[in-house]
Structure 1
Amino acid sequence: MQKATKVGVNSANKLEKLFCQCGRNEVSTSSKVEKPTISHDSKRHLHQATETKPINLPATSLTTYLADTVSNFSSRDLSDTVTHRSKRTILDIIGVGVIGSQTEVSQAYRDFASVSDGFNKKSKAAIWGVQHLKSSAPMAAYLNGASCHAMDFDDTWHPATHPSGPVLPAILALSDWLPESDKPSLHDVLVAYNIGIQVQGALLRCSQQARNIPHRLHPPSIVGVMGSAAASSRLLGLGSKKCRHAMAIAASFAGAPMANAGTTTKPLHSGKSARFGLEAALLASKGIEGNENILDMASGFGAFYDDYNPEKLLEEISQSDNMILHEQDIAIKRFPCHLGMHWGIDAAMRVREEMMNSVGKIVPEDIIEIKIIAPKSRYINRPIPTSEHEARHSFQFTVCSALLDGEVTPETFHYGYRRRQTLHSLLHKTEVITPDDNIASFENMYIEVAVCLKNGQIIQSRCNTPYGHWRYPLSDQDIQKKFTNNTKHLPAENRPEIIKLVQKMSKSKKSTELTELLQL
């Protein structure tokens, strides 16, 4: 839990005015950004996957640059920082995908797959979290990618997207499918994963619009499929020309509306990106072609962003050779809900702590009003959510749950928890206020929670950076704890073995040694 400091007078006065019927007895706290020390892996001998270095600049176009980079990408391009960070996100997304596989929505997806695709003894690609179930590589990528987003527990980057869910399921499914003589090592998987993350980060930086919380299209369905195509192309060893066409094909599979946020369709956005990125690479390997300038045209990838500007990105690349993941970490979530909720949960937990210190217990009847100062975003402002998926996208639900319970867990969103009378009593007393100075961006937003009590006391807290944010990353120990909690239904002996394999991502270990441990 973050340390607290007093909020400024202006902030306190602003909130006080919102409670016209309350007195002036205030307790206020504010979360402080603390950067924990993260140990880095010791420097390892770098594996040369290809004979040539990636072509940096000058490049004639963004499509040329990225296709050449994907084709020639190797572990020589991974710093110790990038290697360490990517191993953390790989372990996390595996755990998130495994627990996601246990949800009703993931079971429904598997029921669909059993009819449309079939599971049989000839299938090679493992479905995570279930017993001996395998399918075709595209369907496994689809199902595992969807499980990674089934609880909105997966990592989040800036500009906003969920980068790992569309990538790792694709390349692990592809690895399972490849013949024994061509089975990639875990080190090969690590390299492919990183270029899939890098391509997503690069494309997101072609748009200022992408830096805010999305309101029109869901980013994992836009850049996720491109990352999956890049990672799959790298794992297949495609040359620059075929990498170019893989990305062109993938662009035709991109896009999904934000209107499906908070529904059982949203997890499919990550699943379909994993699947169709993999298929795009396979199609390109068979000679299917797309527009060779897909990433440089307003009618190409530019169709997804009004302010798409690939030339600006090329200028930025010319000034730095670093991987984007080296410069900026990825947020790994503590709570199974939309990242924006984490600000409110942290603030609410600080308010709860002050209430416990002051009153000794939480009595919903003693609460007159709850105010949440949050950025303006319709799809995460849901006063009375009617499903677990809406609840994961509700400032009101997550703040009130944190106040009542002092925690937010997978059980928080179960039917019985959602239907509690005490919770609904608080929801009806809660209001979200969206001031103009609160930017809807995971980089700049803040959330304040204020509770007015019958005795006239106002207890409030502000969170500027929640624990788990890229500025305030989870410790390695907390990531492993999250992974262990998320994989409890796997055989007990599997969990430490998975951790060991991911910590090393060794050249001497085949990818299937990992995927075999992801089933019951």
Structure 2
Amino acid sequence: MTGLTRQAAEFLAGLHPDAVPDICLDTAALGTTDCVAVMIAGSEEDASRLVRELISPASGPDTAPLIPSGVMLASADAALVNGVAAHALDYDDVGIDGHPSTVLVPAILAEGHALGISGARALAAYVAGYELWALLDSLEPGKLHDRGFHPTAVQGTVATAAACAVLHGLDADRAANTIAIGASLGAGLVANFGTMTKPLHAGRAAQSGILAARLAARGFTASPDVLEHRTGYLRAHSPSGTPDLDKRDHGLGRIWRMAQLGLNIKRYPLCYSTHRAIDAMLDLVEAHDLTPDEVREIRVGAGGPELLMLRNHAPRTGLEAKFSMEFAMASALVARRVGLAELSDGFVRRPDVIAAMRKVACTAVHDGIAGMPDSPPDTVEVELVTGEVLRHEPVQFAQGSWQNPLSRDGLRGKFLDCVTGHLADGRAERLFEQLVGLRRIDNLRDLDFATANLPHRH
């Protein structure tokens, strides 16, 4: 029986799009479409701009476009900047125990453009990265967030390296080295949530995946048992101290974890741990036509790990507000929506929003995390100044989740909302259709954002 690292490498080396179930390819296209939308929306955020200012344009075969400007950079640099943009608004999808698309898509689009690969192969690479990530997550009984690790940065780097190994068509030996190099490059701390460094985690993971594959392709070596060794990846990052290291066949290429776990598309540009409560609060506000003056207290019951991530109880900036349950509930009550417009510093600091945040009380009622299929539901109840208590039924699956998905029109609506003002008339619809139908694209260089400079706002 070969070890985990070797099994993963052999899976990557033998993967062909025809062997991947349609549901997985379609889900990868869903994640790609949504990620490009939020990438474009986040392309002019301060975090994206500051990283972009450090990078010089490039020319030649190993380049890829910034999205949506079309400026060409070295592919790893394009993945870095586009990855930061994709995560800058925290509006990207959620799956497994992190944000798969925000690391996989920037790397795959950048390196795939440089290599001139097909849309089908790009989707297969996405699935490969997702499958390895999901397997690694299943072997750890603890939660990386509890130890302070950002899974998107730590597991996402290994996953992105795996995806890039598929793009390069590496054999098993070089694919194993790619995985092992990536395993040493992933890093990111939960303590940096609510700052520009969180999206930097995503950009660096995307960049590192490309670096790992390019090094391995040139003969760079690394440990052949890096994942399972007692001083290796799983044990080093284990919050429980007891990762499952038993040798066995892990079923990569036969068991498709994506078909079960899928992706959760965000309806709100905040940490996903707020979404179930937002759904409930918006329902209560609409059903009872609530105004802030009528409300004495908003009580939220959520998971302990969720509340640990939602560390900002009195945010003063839009970035901080993304990780605040208090703000999420206040926005739902005051604005009757929780969208990009509400994530401004000015809105966060409004006196009526601050007053509403002070009415929110949060309690840990379970140990789950939104987006995980076995997570218990979150709860919301509102006590009115009259003493009446309004209770929403517990919410287990947020709108847009794998179990409660958006319609195609809903996905298109989010896409167009994200790219409005960034893309010329007609180009947004055309790009949406290209991405949804990515399997039919012969070469990633044929994608609209990859063939011409796109107008962007100043």
- TM-score normalised over the length of structure 2: 0.92
Q: State yes or no: 1:99 paired with 2:41.
A: yes
**Partner in structure 2 of residue 142 of structure 1:** 80
**Partner in structure 2 of residue 425 of structure 1:** 355
1:281–1:363 distance in 2 versus 1, CA, 3 Å:
same
Letter matched to residue 11 of structure 2: T
Identity rate, percent: 25
- Quick one: distance in 2 between partners of 1:425 and 1:500? 44
1:187–1:329 distance in 2 versus 1, CA, 3 Å:
same
**Partner in structure 1 of residue 113 of structure 2:** 176
Q: State yes or no: 1:263 paired with 2:198.
A: no
Letter matched to residue 109 of structure 2: L
Does structure 1 conserve the Cα–Cα contact (< 8 Å) formed by 2:269 and 2:340? Answer: yes
Tell me which of 93, 101, 122 is aligned to 1:155. 93
- Quick one: distance in 2 between partners of 1:91 and 1:226? 22
Does structure 2 conserve the Cα–Cα contact (< 8 Å) formed by 1:88 and 1:476? Answer: no
1:230–1:440 distance in 2 versus 1, CA, 3 Å:
closer
Question: Residue 161 of structure 2 aligns to a residue in which SS?
Answer: helix
Letter matched to residue 401 of structure 1: S
Runs of 4+ in 1 over 4 A off after TM superposition: 120-123, 212-215
Q: Which runs of 5+ in 2 are unaligned?
A: none
**Partner in structure 2 of residue 385 of structure 1:** 315
**Partner in structure 2 of residue 457 of structure 1:** 388
- Quick one: distance in 2 between partners of 1:453 and 1:214? 35
Does structure 1 conserve the Cα–Cα contact (< 8 Å) formed by 2:48 and 2:88? Answer: yes
Tell me which of 475, 484, 502 is aligned to 2:435. 502
User: Aligned-pair distance for 1:400?
Assistant: 1.2
Does structure 2 conserve the Cα–Cα contact (< 8 Å) formed by 1:381 and 1:432? Answer: no
Q: State yes or no: 1:484 paired with 2:416.
A: yes
Question: Residue 288 of structure 1 aligns to a residue in which SS?
Answer: coil
Does structure 2 conserve the Cα–Cα contact (< 8 Å) formed by 1:371 and 1:451? Answer: yes
Letter matched to residue 311 of structure 1: D
**Partner in structure 2 of residue 194 of structure 1:** 127
Q: State yes or no: 1:301 paired with 2:243.
A: no
- Quick one: distance in 1 between partners of 2:124 and 2:85? 23
**Partner in structure 2 of residue 439 of structure 1:** 368
Question: Residue 289 of structure 1 aligns to a residue in which SS?
Answer: coil
1:438–1:72 distance in 2 versus 1, CA, 3 Å:
closer
- Quick one: distance in 1 between partners of 2:405 and 2:54? 37
Tell me which of 269, 289, 300 is aligned to 1:372. 300
User: Aligned-pair distance for 1:244?
Assistant: 0.3
Once the two structures are overlaid, the 10-residue window that deviates more, 388-397 or 493-502, is 493-502
User: Aligned-pair distance for 1:486?
Assistant: 1.0
- Quick one: distance in 2 between partners of 1:77 and 1:222? 28
Does structure 2 conserve the Cα–Cα contact (< 8 Å) formed by 1:213 and 1:440? Answer: no
Question: Residue 463 of structure 1 aligns to a residue in which SS?
Answer: coil
* TM alignment of 1:3-402, pairs within 5 A: 59-113=1-55, 118-122=56-60, 124-130=63-69, 132-158=70-96, 160-178=97-115, 183-210=116-143, 214-302=146-234, 303-305=236-238, 306-311=241-246, 314-315=248-249, 317=251, 321-356=254-289, 362-376=290-304, 377-402=307-332
- Quick one: distance in 1 between partners of 2:324 and 2:278? 11
User: Aligned-pair distance for 1:502?
Assistant: 2.2
Does structure 1 conserve the Cα–Cα contact (< 8 Å) formed by 2:170 and 2:217? Answer: yes
- Quick one: distance in 2 between partners of 1:282 and 1:69? 19
- Quick one: distance in 2 between partners of 1:138 and 1:173? 7
**Partner in structure 2 of residue 469 of structure 1:** 401
- How many residues of Structure 1 are paired with residues of Structure 2 in the alignment? 443
Does structure 2 conserve the Cα–Cα contact (< 8 Å) formed by 1:354 and 1:459? Answer: no
Letter matched to residue 341 of structure 2: E
User: Aligned-pair distance for 1:467?
Assistant: 0.9
Once the two structures are overlaid, the 10-residue window that deviates more, 425-434 or 335-344, is 425-434
User: Aligned-pair distance for 1:441?
Assistant: 5.6
Letter matched to residue 276 of structure 1: S
User: Aligned-pair distance for 1:440?
Assistant: 4.3
Letter matched to residue 177 of structure 2: H
Letter matched to residue 278 of structure 1: I
Does structure 2 conserve the Cα–Cα contact (< 8 Å) formed by 1:295 and 1:301? Answer: yes
- Quick one: distance in 1 between partners of 2:255 and 2:454? 36
1:136–1:396 distance in 2 versus 1, CA, 3 Å:
same
Question: Residue 459 of structure 1 aligns to a residue in which SS?
Answer: strand
1:379–1:328 distance in 2 versus 1, CA, 3 Å:
closer
Does structure 2 conserve the Cα–Cα contact (< 8 Å) formed by 1:245 and 1:291? Answer: yes
- Quick one: distance in 2 between partners of 1:165 and 1:88? 13
**Partner in structure 2 of residue 414 of structure 1:** 344
Q: Which runs of 5+ in 1 are unaligned?
A: 1-58, 357-361
* Largest Rg, 1 or 2: 1
User: Aligned-pair distance for 1:269?
Assistant: 0.7
- Quick one: distance in 2 between partners of 1:505 and 1:440? 31
Letter matched to residue 153 of structure 2: S
User: Aligned-pair distance for 1:470?
Assistant: 1.9
1:329–1:494 distance in 2 versus 1, CA, 3 Å:
same
